Amino acid sequence: MDPSKVTIHVTLLGGGFGRKSKPDYVVEAALVARAVGAPVRLQWTREDDVRHDYYHSTSAQRLEAGLDASGKVVAWHQRIAFPPIGSTFSDATFAGDGEMGQGIVDLPLAIPDVRMENCEARAHTRIGWLRSVANIYHAFAVQSFIDELAHTRGTDPRDTLLEVLGPSRIVTPKDLGVAKVPNYGQSLEQHPVDTARLRRVIERVTGLARWDERKREGRSLGLAAHRSFLTYVAVVVSVVKDANEQIRVDEAWIVADAGTIINLERVRAQMEGAVVFGLSLGLYGEITMKDGATVQSNFRDYRLARIAETPRKIHVDIIPSDGPPGGVGEPGVPPVAPALANAVFALTGTRVRELPLVKTVKV
């Protein structure tokens, strides 16, 4: 067609970056309009979107740790394999620097011997961005494993987490054993990897959740913390069993240090939403394929956490800061699923190593 005969009206959509960045629906509309020879309105249904989407990558990870005679963690070995987002645009089979910089190469462990391996994985469907991206599965693996280490050693999970993070310090690429840290495109001088901020949100969230009193009060709590998008977040989740022996999320606490905050209520809303979003992923989030096609089509078979399945209370605490602002739209999600899984272990003794939780426990 003659380009002078084509007019594009761009709709200004807020949010939804991941899906919006791949406009296959726009191409479809253009092809239909050309065939008809007139402007048309093309409507994608939810079924269209679910069955023809760009899906969040699946991930398999193997973690091992070495302990000395006193039980101190002295070695950490982690292998990661997942089809990278780059596979959608090329023949990439290894995770890119940006993906490995989301909770792996920037993971501030105070452990003398650390080895991270990026393994090959081929994509079998289109891979795209989901809220928090690779931080989701990296945080789940790391924070679940630290909880496993704590129970293996017979130590408190919070104390173990603080121990492997080590003292308050600014962590350099040399400390991490890498040439560079992607750092979400920002300078490490302005946005350093600061374990003091991560320790602070952990100590604060466990204080708010009365972590030390949990056993005396008969509560089952799980803890997780993660740095992503230049922001530090810690989450505690409380789970209970209902009259039908089904596991329910009772309460959740989330503490964030995002630097300077402009609109506090907007940030609080993002963190509340992150808890619900993360719980939906952790409890039910799964897309499956059969004969080359997506099985799920709508909310009748792609389950989300409904209002009765969300916490009766979500406690949000934002740490005051005059530091450079970090992100708030994505950082609340990564610690939610591991905190939930760790709480399930505290309640049932069943270790969750595969998501969604509905595969492992009765929810």
How confident is the model over 95-114, as pLDDT tens digits? 999 999 999 999 999 999 99
- Asked if the peptide bond before residue 83 counts as cis, ω within 30 degrees of 0, the response is no
Q: Which residue has the tokens 């130590």?
A: 155
Query: What is the structure's pLDDT at 14?
Result: 60
- What is the amino acid identity at position 357? L
d(CA 60, CA 310) in angstroms, rounded, equals: 27
**12 pLDDT exceeds 70?**
no
Q: In what order do the strands lie in the sheet with 247-257?
A: 220-228, 231-241, 247-257, 313-318
Tell me what percent of the residues of the chain surpass a pLDDT of 90.
88
d(CA 249, CA 211) in angstroms, rounded, equals: 16
Query: What is the structure's pLDDT at 89?
Result: 92
Task: Say if CB 73 and CB 111 are below 8 A apart.
Answer: yes
Q: Using H for helix, E for strand and C for coil, what is the string for 172-233?
A: CHHHHCCCCCCHHHCCCCCCCEEHHHHHHHHHHHHHHCCHHHCCCCCCEEEEEEEEECCEEE
Q: Please, what CATH class does the domain formed by 60-359 belong to?
A: alpha beta
Q: Nearest Cα to 336, choosing from 241, 256, 219, 230? A: 256
For residue 204, CA distances in Å to 140, 162, 207, 211 come to 21, 12, 5, 10
DSSP 119: E
Length of the chain in terms of residues written: 363
Task: Say if CB 236 and CB 212 are below 8 A apart.
Answer: no
Q: Is the pTM of this model over 0.75?
A: yes
Task: Say if CB 311 and CB 250 are below 8 A apart.
Answer: yes
Helices (H), the chain: 17-20, 24-36, 46-51, 97-100, 135-153, 157-165, 173-176, 195-208, 264-284, 336-348
d(CA 9, CA 354) in angstroms, rounded, equals: 44
Q: Which residue has the tokens 């964030």?
A: 256
Query: What is the structure's pLDDT at 5?
Result: 84
Query: What is the structure's pLDDT at 108?
Result: 98
Please, which pLDDT band fits residue 24 given cuts at 50, 70 and 90? confident
d(CA 214, CA 1) in angstroms, rounded, equals: 68
pLDDT tens per residue, range 42-85: 888 999 989 998 999 999 999 999 999 999 999 999 999 999 99
Task: Say if CB 241 and CB 248 are below 8 A apart.
Answer: yes
d(CA 308, CA 304) in angstroms, rounded, equals: 11
For residue 89, the surrounding DSSP H or E stretch is none
Please, which pLDDT band fits residue 317 given cuts at 50, 70 and 90? very high
DSSP string covering 273-285, please?
A: HHHHHHHHHHHH-
For residue 151, CA distances in Å to 159, 160, 249 come to 11, 9, 22
Domain-wise residue ranges, the chain: 3-44, 60-359
